[in-house]
Structure 1
């Protein structure tokens, strides 16, 4: 009970405070992260007895058999309510303690009867009674009885030895654990100091994180141009940018079309000149061949036939194209030049600039409102600081630190006395174990000497010295047992009653929480208070604050605020209401007014320029006529093939000027092909591709321009009708982001203070260390194991005495013995023979 009241004193100074516990981490949006500093404690929150724990459990099972009754909650409540008056509840107390009482009574009977029995046994032995006569009667089953007594005594001695070992182990374990008490106390006190010293700094840390939040918010406010302006710009971009990109592409297409028209027109003029030159060259060749065919040899058969064939083929040496009939593109070029007098690209760039200036416009128009918002945030910081100052923790912590110091002084002063007394207890326990060890050693020596020295062929009066010594050891063991067993049993009874009740009434109910349920009984500890703990903490006993709930919450490492329900004295939720603190900020963002209605993507001049381009006539050009002419061969016949054929025919002619002239003309035709036809073919192929591209660009020009103008009108209308809603949407999103930082921060502050700051596990650990570890594990468990082992050994001394006395007759040297005579008639007689030796 004193330990539990100390726990109350531990909690009282923190009745209206908050302190910081271990690690807490909260990560918000946009990388805003808060993390409480980690607090490390030395004391382990669990205790394991080690290998000896199995022996402790065995004793617990024995106590459960002796004391099977459930924890007497009602009895304890009534006893506490009546100020420990046991008179009215003695019957129930006796019923609950009946198992322990019976065992204690049996132990006391043992204490009173064993000295009396030993005294009577000694007198009887002195009178040669009770086996005191040094005469052993011969029995037919004597050998069996000797072996039976030997085995029985050996088994009993083993049981006694096990009990003695339990006693030695328990005695040593208790001393070892007492030596650890100072370290355990220092560890718990250090953890409590860490718990207290770290709390104010960590509360300040939580409140100081407002600076981090404000820095993040100020950064976003200073970057309103890319954040808010950029957000508005990105919302409008999908509708606006494609239109401007199309107009920009159309401006480039106008320039490319002019270049293409100029290229086609100039190339066409060159082709016409090249075709005229080709016609002249072919006419010259044709005339030269005809002059050669006027040679007199052409009248002589068969040359005449060849000449006629050549003359008939000369009609193939002609131009195959009608390029001269193709119309000129000068008019279309003039129209495009008129269109290009207006710089459409420059107009588009102005549209881009007007649209891309939105972020800059937003920044310029929000300078004043951003300044107001920053002022509101600074004011919010002052409010947060005031909340920290309103938590009354510093004074309470300094008082509680005094409790810790006083407790430490008390423990250190009394630990010396405890260790001194424990040394006496350890010495006494060692003496007790040694007395039992002495008894069992006498028995073991008696068994060893008696068994080893026994000669079955020797008569009782002739037994050897070793055998006789074994019997004497057994009787010495019996005598020592009678002298000290009642003292041992007295110690066993006292430790059994104390240790058993402590285990059943303190240790077990503490571990299963029933002890806390007793303390939580309304009006128990104070007849005027319904809940004692809330009466101490809040001076309001009607608040449902129980020891069991506080202990379990501390065990789960919850914060003091939640554990002690401190919202009844200081409601942090009311003071950290974001709507209260951020109301002005929200209003500032609602008053955010950005005007960007004067965006013009393309002015009237640009529109007119596009219309003029669509009516420039390039889409009405008959490109197929040009393509048909450009797709023809420059000549009607392949000049190379014609030259080869002419040369072959000349080879069939006889040698002379005709043959040579025709070969020269064939060579001239080849020269014309290489010098004029091939370049002409290449130029026609190039201009063919240019015309195809120009045809592709001009295809559907009016529809393309109409679509661009329609998209332009749609985008411009979108800017006029929707830009205000986009601004409101993005402004709201931007404002919510800024406020969200503080919502996240205040939520983290609330969670930290209510759930994580001053996580009171060290308090629960300290209470566990005092009750569960020090009292129960360090003291009660070894004490119970000690009386269990010593009691077991002492109880087995009783049958050991009986068997030792019986067995000693078979080992000791007798004064007289029975001598048997076999009669002739079959009758058996005997007489007593006296030995001359003395025993």
Structure 2
């Protein structure tokens, strides 16, 4: 155990020496190796933060704050802050645990020390081990050694991350210093923008045919959406559905179809039945009368009477209206083209997008030519882009100068003093858990290798180990509050930055930059809507006050009217984070920025005139004329199908509901005849099954077909009524759909026309811009933030392990003070020597229970006199 302690202490001092060596020599390679060696601690802190934060969007705090600030009363409802509580319940739990730890740890330590001084808590000495004490001593020692080793690893990681954090603040090397890395990012961003500007000037020979195809394809998609919107607004499905049903029904009864063949067969079979049924009835009666066996005479008589009286049809051939069916089928065949012509309505609705595109095609071609292939437009755009690049470069230069001023630590004595205090204060702070770990390791070493605690024969005494363990426990109680407060401050400073911003920018969350852009845009839109709502409410209040006679001049200035507010809204709408950090890696500049909606004055100026022409062309598209013409054509076709109004197969449908003969169950009658087992009846039974019984079983299908034929009247009237309603509401439907379509198509046209202006820039890469911006993101989110988060993670892990460490240390202190029952020291002669006798433990350490003496002493010559009872 001593060798293990020496090895661990050597590793700790070697790490401290390595840190001092790196600080003095500024070895970049060593710093990078140190960062790689503790990278798993970054992953641990990120996993912990993701676990306590969850995946809810970071807009809830902003929305809750906006609602609270815009509230007209001082009371805040729970519903307002409920999303914040749900989103940040993990941070809240960790904060409460840290506060309770910092408050109760010194209180528990004070109670423990008082109880220890009174001899009531931990470390009470007993000379002999209990039966299970040796096993407990081994188990507790192993557990405490493992816990302290984990604490040592966490503290070493905290040491390294503390130094990496200090280097990120003071180092001038871009590989290790956050400010230097961010400064280099600004320089590279400026260079990348200048290179993109130079390439934008020389793009006159770029082939942009594929960009035009993309432009036309997106316009087609927008027009298809407009077509669907018109179908929904006009309720065209109320017309198309009956037309389709009518055409399907007519198709069921086309000449030569299965249904027509079946009706013809049924008609012929029914005619034959009416002709053959009297002879069949007479044959059955004669056979039953003459050939029936004597034992079945009664049954034969019953069947003969039933056949003679009921084996007759209940209706004539005319009642099935076969003649009307033939006339209707002939008319359908004659006017089949008129039925098919009703599909023109569906075709016209399906070609509305084509009609609109044909009307605006000339304007689309002219817009593309004027915007994408105009030298004047390209020159003007490049000039404007150059001015923007100059403005951005000027701002970047100002930021670089400020960063250089911040990095000039030699000339800033207060800042240098703060950095030194942070460095050496952090080292001093981490030396506290190192001291505690040292005391615990020494206590374990003395406790493992020591002998009896009350003998001076050995140099290594287990009692010393117990005292060292209790000393470590005392230091834990003494300094835990300070360590936890520092840990909580760093946790609350670095944790939210990682979960709300950096995990999206670095791509730890899938599609993180795009989601962050959406969250920012939603927050700004929410703020704008809230301010506009408050503005309306205030204006209404002011108007009411003026109506009541308050004529004071009241003016309110709103941030929503600020041009910078609109600029922020336009920038957030462009999704620049997703474009630069994600899409620029694999796509050129134009394709990368096409994922958002951007508004740039140099792009807006040449677009607005052409956009207005497109909108005017769209408004002037005559959609009413082709639709009205189609409706008239359909109505004319329906007029030629007016013969359907005379369709009425009610009689045939009603007859098909009743049995064919007076015998209600003809099948049962045939079964009864077969049960007689008369060979003379067999041919008659077969004839009965082939004609009457078969036709009777087909009545269900006949009824269904007649019902379909009878539906022509209702379908014809329904289509006529729906067409009239559609035609009456056509103008209003077109107007409403045009307004809705313009609201949806205008941003599509504007965005695509802006992309058409910069279509010649499609070959301009933006990988260098992405690399520069990503370096700036890494400077803040990785180089600076990750060591800080890993620092409080290691320190917090160490503090949480103090709770089981205290428990095991106190238990081991009591076990180390005991004497092993079968120790070899018992067999030493010196144990009963004079020296051993006087060096034995005092009686206060060994309580020997004695049996109380209840025996009454009897003195010689004396007997107690018994008292007489009165």
TM-score (norm. length: structure 2)? 0.43
Compare CA radii of gyration and give the structure with the larger one. 1
